[in-house]
Amino acid sequence: MKQWLLKHPLFIGIVLLPTLAAILYFGLIASDVYISESRFLVRSPDRPVQTGLVGQLLQSTGVGKSEDDTYAVRDFILSRDALKELDDRLGVRKAFSGEKIDFFGRFPGVIWDRSFEDFYRYYVGHVDVDYDALSSITRLDVRAFSAQDAYRINGMLIEMSERLVNTLNDRSRHDLVSLAEDEVKLASDKAKEASIALLNYRASRSVFEPDRQAALQLQGVAKIQEQLISTEAELAQLRSLSPTNPQVASLSTLVDTLRASIASEAAKVTSARDSLSARAPDFERLALEVEFADKQLGVALASLETARTEARQKQLYLERLVQPSLPDKAMEPRRLRSIFTTFLISLVGWGVASLVAAAIREHGE
């Protein structure tokens, strides 16, 4: 065996040394990595659920999923903003930089510097967000070098994601409802202005409803005309029977008074200036403005209620299906698998290198 190794230095350099290094690192140096897992679902009542067991269960309750918003939550979890907040609240940089963590696994370690951008790249390698389009469930895995750190980071990311969903809800609700509320306020102001204009016109012109007032006025004129006809008939009869009767003068005066009253009352209805007929066009215009403004206000209120209903239907919900787990055993690194993988890759590399070396020798000969 020793002689064979001496005849094959490539095997020592490409296979034996990397395998021994892997045994040393994964067997004695590599730090334990704990994985905290959680699962959640982003859903919306106005969207149908796709096929799948969870989809069918949610469809029976009338609640749908929101795939686009799930991707928004995923992008937020893997964002620099999320990392900055995690570092401010939990001190994740310190958690990944502990002296007990092996040099190759901790931050900054060998390949990283202390910049935020490198820390962000390091963070993305320790957080995995996997979305299953069939079941609409998202799995969040967080890797850390202690069970408590993995658990706390996972829980904080879920909490931040719920806050993001609530922010999206508030923004959507505001966008849908604020415009409708502005329209209601504008319509309400117009209705108030129209009502005040009509009230001021009634007060200044002493008119309430010209049509009804004119009808009442004409009824009074008709009664006076009946009295005039009766008085004129009585006066004519008295003049034919007793022209010198003293009542002739009084009846004549009454007839003149009745005729003057008729002319005066009729003028209030039909004269060209300051009559009920002259006031009617302006009154009708103001009354029409009030009616139109009230209808506009009714339409605006209906639109506002529709907008509120639509906003409620577009509410997003982040449903925790599986709470963040507190691992009681390190799941990584998979030491034996890693050593064996290193050996196989090295063996393949040695085989390729041996073929290349043999080809070079043959070409030289």
Q: Is the pLDDT of residue 179 over 90?
A: no
Q: Which helix (H) or strand (E) holds 157?
A: helix 147-205
Question: For 251-302, what is each residue's pLDDT tens digit?
Answer: 677 777 867 776 666 555 554 455 444 455 666 676 677 788 888 888 888 8
Q: Is the pLDDT of residue 45 over 70?
A: no
Contact call for residues 70 and 42 (beta carbons, < 8 A): yes
Question: Which among 26, 152, 24, 33 is positioned nearest to 100, based on CA atoms?
Answer: 33
Q: List beta partners, residue 37.
A: 141
For residue 276, the model assigns a pLDDT of 46
* Rounded distance between C-alpha atoms, residue 58 and residue 56, angstroms: 5
Question: For 350-364, what is each residue's pLDDT tens digit?
Answer: 888 888 877 877 776
Report CA Rg, the chain.
47
More confident residue, 6 or 345: 345
Q: Is the pLDDT of residue 182 over 90?
A: no
Average pLDDT over every residue of 178-186? 82
For residue 63, the model assigns a pLDDT of 43
The residue assigned the tokens 């925790």 is 320
Highest-pLDDT range among 46-50, 71-75, 196-200, 235-239: 71-75
Percentage of the chain beyond pLDDT 90 is 24
DSSP string, 245-292: -THHHHHHHHHHHHHHHHHHHHHHHH-SSSSHHHHHHHHHHHHHHHHH
Q: Which residues of 90-124 are buried (b: 16+ CB within 10 A; e: fewer)?
A: eebbebbbeeebeeebbbebeeeeeeeeebbebbe
More confident residue, 306 or 124: 124
Question: pTM surpassing 0.75?
Answer: no
Question: Which among 138, 108, 141 is positioned nearest to 37, based on CA atoms?
Answer: 141
Q: Tell me the one-letter amino acid at 174.
A: H
Q: Is the pLDDT of residue 88 over 90?
A: yes
What is the rounded average pLDDT for all residues in the chain? 78
